[in-house]
Amino acid sequence: MSLIDDKWTILFDKYNIENEIKKNGRFYITADKIREVKEPRLMTKFDTKESLPAVFGNKLAILPVTRGKYVIGEFDLYQDFPIAKTDIKQMKNIKIPEYLETIDINDIRSEASAINIMGITDILDDFLGENNMLQTVSGRMGSGTFSFRVDGFTPGTEHRIDVQNSQVEIDAGFENENVFTIIEGKNVIHNNFLVRQLYYPTRLWNGKIQKQIRPVFMVYSNNIFRLLEYQFIDMDSYSSLQLIQERNYSLEDIHITWEDLSGVLQSTNIEPEPEVTFIQADSFEKVISLVENLSDSPMTTMEIADLFGFKERQSDYYFNACKYLGLAEKNKAEDGIKAFLTPLGKSLLKLCYKARQLEYVKLILKHRLFNEMFELILQKGEVPDKQYIAARMRELNICSENLLLRRASSVRGWLFWIKNLIN
pLDDT of 210-239, one tens digit each? 999 999 999 999 989 999 999 999 999 999
For the chain, percent of residues with pLDDT exceeding 90: 81
Average pLDDT over residues 324-329: 97
Per-residue pLDDT, averaged over 13-19, amounts to 97
Give the model's pLDDT for residue 88. 46
* pLDDT (mean) for 246-256: 90
Q: Are residues 244 and 334 in the same domain?
A: no
Mean pLDDT, residues 310-321: 88
Let me know whether 128 and 218 are in one domain. Answer: yes
Residues 126 and 217 in one domain: yes
Are residue 219 and residue 92 in the same domain, yes or no?
Answer: yes
Torsion over CA: 390, 394, 396, 399 (sign): positive
The CATH number assigned to the domain holding 326 equals 1.10.10.10
Q: Which domain holds residue 9?
A: 3-74
Query: E strand or H helix at 111, and its extent?
Result: helix 111-120
State the burial class of residue 177 (Cβ atoms within 10 Å of its Cβ: 0-12, 13-18, 19+): exposed
Other CB atoms within 10 A of residue 88 CB? 15
* Cβ atoms 150, 238 nearer than 8 A: yes
Mean pLDDT, all residues of the chain: 93
Tell me if 43 sits within 8 A of 4, measured CB to CB.
yes
Question: Does one domain contain both 90 and 220?
Answer: yes
Query: Is residue 177's pLDDT more than 90?
Result: yes
333 and 399 fall within a common domain: yes
* Whether residue 212 sits in one domain with residue 327: no
Are both 129 and 239 inside the same structural domain?
yes
Q: Is 232 helix (H, G, I), strand (E, B) or coil?
A: strand
At residue 322, what is the residue type? C
- Domain end position, chosen among 74, 93, 122: 74
| Collapsed DSSP state (helix, strand, coil) of residue 299 | strand
pLDDT at residue number 262: 96
Asked whether residue 147 falls in the same domain as residue 113, the answer is yes
Poorest-pLDDT segment among 70-74, 95-99, 277-281? 95-99
The C-alpha atoms of residue 128 and residue 123 are separated, in whole angstroms, by 9
Q: Are 50 and 159 in the same domain? A: no
User: What is the number of domains present in the chain?
Assistant: 3
∠ CA 343-270-315, nearest 5°, is 50
Query: What is the pLDDT confidence band of residue 379, given thresholds at 50, 70 and 90?
Result: very high
Q: Is the model more confident about 240 or about 296?
A: 240
- Is residue 104 scored above 90 in pLDDT? no
Residue 416 to residue 381: CA distance in whole angstroms = 11
Q: Whole-angstrom Cα distance, residue 290 to residue 221?
A: 10
Which H or E run includes 205?
helix 196-206
Confidence of residue 2 (pLDDT cuts 50, 70, 90): confident
Question: What is the C-alpha to C-alpha distance for residues 230 and 198, in angstroms, rounded to an integer?
Answer: 9
d(CA 319, CA 331): 13
**CA angle at 110 for the pair 142 and 231, rounded to the nearest 5°:** 50
Q: Domain boundary at 51, 74, 97, which?
A: 74
pLDDT in tens, 123-156: 999 999 999 999 999 999 999 999 999 999 888 9
CB 345 within 8 A of CB 239: no
Helix ranges, 268-385 (H):
284-294, 301-308, 312-324, 343-348, 353-365, 368-380
Model confidence at 103: pLDDT above 90: no
Of 198, 218, 250, the residue at which a domain comes to its end is: 250
Distance CA 359, CA 147 (A): 51
- Give the span between the Cα atoms of 283 and 208, in whole angstroms: 41
In a shared domain, residues 54 and 104: no
Model confidence over 343-364: pLDDT tens digits?
999 999 999 899 999 999 999 9
Highest mean pLDDT among 77-86, 94-103, 300-309, 386-395: 386-395
- Mention every residue, 6+ apart, whose C-beta is less than 8 A from residue 411: 279, 369, 370, 373, 389, 393
Taking only the tens place, the pLDDT of each residue in 156-173 is 999 999 999 999 999 999
Q: What angle do CA 380, 383, 388 make, to 5 degrees?
A: 100
Q: Residue 144 and residue 272: Cα distance in Å, rounded?
A: 61
- The whole-number pLDDT of residue 89 equals 53
Q: What is the pLDDT of residue 423?
A: 67
100 & 213 share domain: yes
pLDDT given for residue 169 in this prediction: 94
% helix, strand, coil for the chain, step of 5: 40, 25, 35
Ramachandran category for residue 55: left, alpha or beta (phi over 0 → left; psi -120 to 50 → alpha): alpha
Strand partners, 69: 30, 66
